[in-house]
């Protein structure tokens, strides 16, 4: 197919290949038909913005927004593009982008690695009437705000003087092009400086963009840590949690603001469901009308691009109904389940344990991961955690006790196996400040699209293992 052969898995023309986010060095290439692209465009753009418009009414002034989704493709031997599926959606409306969004084409369609956070903010901050931010994931929005908090003085100075700081990494030709169009704006710079000098303790977004109406980004499930962080910057401004999707298909969409439940889209694929907790493998599946509220299911899809009865390894929970369509929430990925001695610990269990730890330890969480340590005998769980402030080193024994207790509650099998000696007691490792942000930056430098960077919930590769162990905080 990559060399031009047609009709192998579908007679519909393939117009794009979606690169998966699973591997840095050799990502899978998922064929995408025109019908699949249309479904993404219809639901992720047209339908979602219609939901937002109906919900917000006159609160949304329909001003321009800040788009953090980039379009970075490679050209295959058959002449087609390969890249993120969200990037393809942006590409399909490329002629409208600069009417809708503030960022220049040089950062939306990058040809080289550059300091994209600076460029996005440099242009968005000029726009007093900025109306919203759209991003593939909440991590991108949160990273942008952290960058603003650390670098606002430099950016405001550049807005005031019509310059781009010399320390900003931008290709020379891009710098020249941007500088030719930039004009000094001392009035806007003065207003921004006054707002930033008051600090970031109170929500900053409504103070610098008074017409700001919403954030549009995937922020549920594994991204909820970043959603919690964004509330600090947003205040009462609502979030639209976008879609539930993968490279293979857009599967569900939010039908209202602030809801983290997604309505299954019946015309985007044919869905089958395997009950998640059944003891034995079976070839029998359920259809959406047979699902039960409160139960968990593995999704199997037949999509519009030639994938037949494909197991995407996601487990979802039915939390309600929208007419006759189930409303679902992502629970965990089967290939991200941790099991050292048959205890089968899901992402949901780890997330609950970490949140309970944060409450009891009275700290503020940045991000976390779990590592199955089989280098000791018997094996053990190690939780890697970044907190806003360094925790006391002399309390490490107590912190380890807390996380051990919480893991045992979340998954009683862990507690039972620790008591019987099948597992060693769990441990906790704190990492240095900005560790998770640095990991994302390194992955982008290695070619992964920012549109696809998901939180590291399981340290399950040598690359991740070397990185996070190297950044363990020796003072905590």
- Report DSSP letters for 178-242, one per residue: HHHH----HHHHHHHHHHHHT-SSS-SHHHH-TT--EEEEE-SGGGHHHHHHHHHHHTT--EE--
**Maximum separation of any 2 CA atoms in the chain, in Å:** 70
Does residue 361 form part of some domain? yes
Same domain? 443 vs 353: yes
pLDDT for the residue numbered 468: 97
Strand pairing class (365-373; 262-264): unpaired
CA distance linking residue 356 with residue 348, whole number of Å? 12
Same domain? 156 vs 270: no
Same domain? 72 vs 205: yes
Distance linking the first and last C-alpha atoms of the chain: 52
Query: Structural domain tally of the chain?
Result: 3
Same domain? 413 vs 434: yes
Same domain? 272 vs 230: no
Instruction: Report CA dihedral (38, 44, 50, 51) to the nearest 10 degrees.
Output: 140
Same domain? 199 vs 300: no
What is the chain's pLDDT, residue by residue, as a tens digit (476 residues)?
Answer: 666 677 777 878 899 998 876 544 567 888 999 999 999 989 998 999 999 999 999 999 999 999 999 888 888 888 888 888 888 878 877 888 888 999 999 999 988 889 999 999 999 999 999 999 999 999 999 999 999 999 999 999 999 999 999 999 999 999 999 999 999 999 999 999 999 999 999 999 999 999 999 999 999 988 999 999 999 999 999 999 999 998 899 999 999 999 999 999 999 999 999 999 876 777 789 999 999 999 999 999 999 999 999 999 999 999 999 999 999 999 999 888 999 999 999 999 999 999 999 999 999 999 999 999 999 999 999 999 999 999 988 999 999 999 999 999 999 999 999 999 999 999 999 999 999 999 999 988 887 777 778 899 999 999 999 999 999 998 77
Total-model pTM: 0.89
Structural domain boundaries enclosing 47: 14-240
Same domain? 297 vs 150: no
Same domain? 330 vs 344: no
pLDDT for the residue numbered 73: 85
Same domain? 195 vs 277: no
Does residue 7 form part of some domain? no
Same domain? 276 vs 196: no
Does residue 248 form part of some domain? no
pLDDT for the residue numbered 80: 87
Gyration radius (Cα) of the chain, Å: 23
Does residue 250 form part of some domain? no
CA distance linking residue 325 with residue 293, whole number of Å? 11
Phi and psi based region of residue 457 (left: phi greater than 0; alpha: psi -120 to 50; beta: remaining): alpha
Give strand ranges (E) for 86-172: 132-137
Does residue 251 form part of some domain? no
CA distance linking residue 432 with residue 268, whole number of Å? 43
Last residue of a domain, one of 335, 360, 387: 335
Last residue of a domain, one of 317, 335, 353: 335
CA distance linking residue 95 with residue 444, whole number of Å? 26
Same domain? 417 vs 322: no
């Amino acid at each position: 197919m990559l060399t031009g052969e047609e009709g192998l898995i579908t007679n519909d023309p393939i117009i794009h290949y979606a690169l998966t986010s699973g591997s840095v060095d050799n990502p899978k290439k998922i064929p995408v038909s025109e019908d699949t692209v249309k479904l993404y465009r219809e639901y992720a753009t047209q339908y979602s913005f219609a939901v937002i418009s109906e919900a917000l009414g006159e609160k949304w002034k329909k001003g321009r927004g800040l788009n953090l989704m980039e379009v970075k493709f490679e050209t295959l031997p058959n002449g087609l593009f390969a890249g993120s599926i969200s990037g393809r959606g942006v590409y399909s409306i490329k002629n409208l982008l600069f009417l809708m969004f503030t960022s220049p084409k040089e950062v939306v369609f990058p040809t080289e690695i550059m300091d994209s956070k600076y460029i996005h903010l440099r242009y968005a901050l000029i726009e007093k009437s900025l109306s919203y931010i759209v991003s593939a994931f909440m991590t991108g929005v949160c990273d942008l705000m952290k960058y603003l908090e650390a670098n606002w003085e430099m950016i405001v100075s550049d807005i005031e003087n019509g310059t781009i700081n010399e320390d900003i990494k931008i290709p020379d030709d891009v710098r020249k092009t941007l500088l030719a169009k930039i004009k000094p704006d001392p009035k806007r710079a003065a207003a921004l400086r006054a707002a930033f000098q008051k600090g970031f303790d109170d929500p900053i977004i409504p103070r610098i963009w008074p017409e700001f109406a919403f954030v549009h980004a995937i922020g549920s499930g594994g991204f909820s840590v970043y959603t919690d962080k964004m509330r600090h910057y947003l205040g009462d401004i609502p979030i639209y949690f976008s879609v539930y999707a993968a490279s293979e298909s857009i599967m569900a969409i939010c039908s209202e603001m602030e809801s983290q439940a997604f309505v299954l889209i019946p015309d985007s694929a044919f869905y089958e469901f395997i009950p998640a907790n059944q003891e034995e493998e079976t070839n029998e599946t359920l259809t959406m009308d047979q699902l039960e509220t409160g139960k968990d299911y593995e999704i199997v899809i037949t999509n519009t691009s030639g994938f037949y009865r494909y197991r995407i390894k996601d487990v979802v929970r039915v939390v309600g109904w929208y007419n006759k369509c189930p409303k679902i929430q992502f629970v965990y990925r089967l290939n991200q389940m941790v099991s050292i001695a048959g205890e089968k610990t899901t992402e949901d269990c780890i997330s609950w344990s970490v949140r309970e730890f944060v409450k009891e330890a009275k700290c503020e969480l940045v991000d976390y991961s779990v590592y199955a340590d089989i280098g000791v005998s018997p094996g053990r769980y190690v939780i890697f955690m970044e907190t806003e402030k360094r925790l006391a080193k002399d309390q490490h024994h107590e912190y380890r006790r807390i996380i051990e207790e919480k893991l045992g509650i979340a998954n009683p099998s862990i507690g039972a196996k620790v008591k019987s000696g099948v597992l060693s007691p769990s441990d906790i490792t704190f990492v240095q400040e900005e560790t998770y942000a640095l990991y994302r930056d390194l992955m982008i430098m290695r070619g992964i699209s920012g549109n696809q960077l998901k939180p590291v919930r399981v340290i399950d590769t040598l690359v991740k293992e070397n990185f996070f162990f190297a950044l363990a905080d020796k003072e905590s």
